[in-house]
Amino acid sequence: MKKLVYIFVIILFIGITAFGQDTIKKKDIFKKDFKWGIGLGAGFTTGFGISFKYHPRKNGIQLNILPYFDDYGRKQFICAGLTLSHDIWSNLNSTLFLYLANSTFIQSYPTFYGSHKYETETIDNTGIGAGLEQTASNKRISIDLMLGYAQYSIFKQMFLTGEIAVHYRFISNK
C-alpha cells in the first residue's frame, strides 16, 4: 500500500512540474513578445478604419481612425474610436477579454451645392462587452472578435453590437 502511495506522489509531482512550467512559459512568451499592432478595425462602438493597438500585458488600448474627404474637401467624414481592454483568460493562441469602447462619427457637408454654409452631424456611440483574440501560430497576426451591448447616438438606441479587428503585431520585447 505504501508503495502505491509513493508511486502516486512521484507521478503527481512529475506531472505538475512538467505541465506547470510549460504553461507559465507559454503565457509569459505570449504576453511579452509583441505589444504593438497595426491593422484594420470595424465596429459601431470601436469605430472603423486603420487600427493601432498597444497591449503590453493584461490591459490594452486600441485606436481606430478613418478620415474621408470628398469633393475637394467640401464633404468630410471622420470616424475615431478608442477601446480599452482587460484580459481575463489566456492560453497559447487565444485570449478572452472584456472591453469598453467609445467612437465618434463626424460628418460635415455643404447645405446645398455651391454654398459656404456647412451642416455638421456628430454621433457618439459607447459599448461594453467581451471579446476573443485569436492569434496565428507565429503570433504576429491576430483577429479580435467582440460582442457586447451598446448605446447609439447618446442613448437614442440601445442594442447588441459586434466588432472585429485584424492586427499585424510587431516590436519585440526582447
User: How far apart (Å, rounded) are the C-alpha atoms in residues 59 and 85?
Assistant: 6
Grid cell for residue 158: 440601445
Q: pLDDT digit string (tens) for 146-173?
A: 999 999 888 788 999 999 999 998 876 6
One of 2.40.50.140, 3.90.180.10, 3.30.70.270, 2.40.160.20 is the CATH number of 33-172, namely 2.40.160.20
User: How far apart (Å, rounded) are the C-alpha atoms in residues 131 and 23?
Assistant: 22
Identify whether the C-beta of residue 142 lies closer than 8 Å to the C-beta of residue 34: no
User: How far apart (Å, rounded) are the C-alpha atoms in residues 132 and 145?
Assistant: 5
Mean pLDDT of 29-47: 81
Q: pLDDT digit string (tens) for 124-135?
A: 999 999 999 998
Cell 462602438, located at residue: 45
Grid cell for residue 133: 483574440
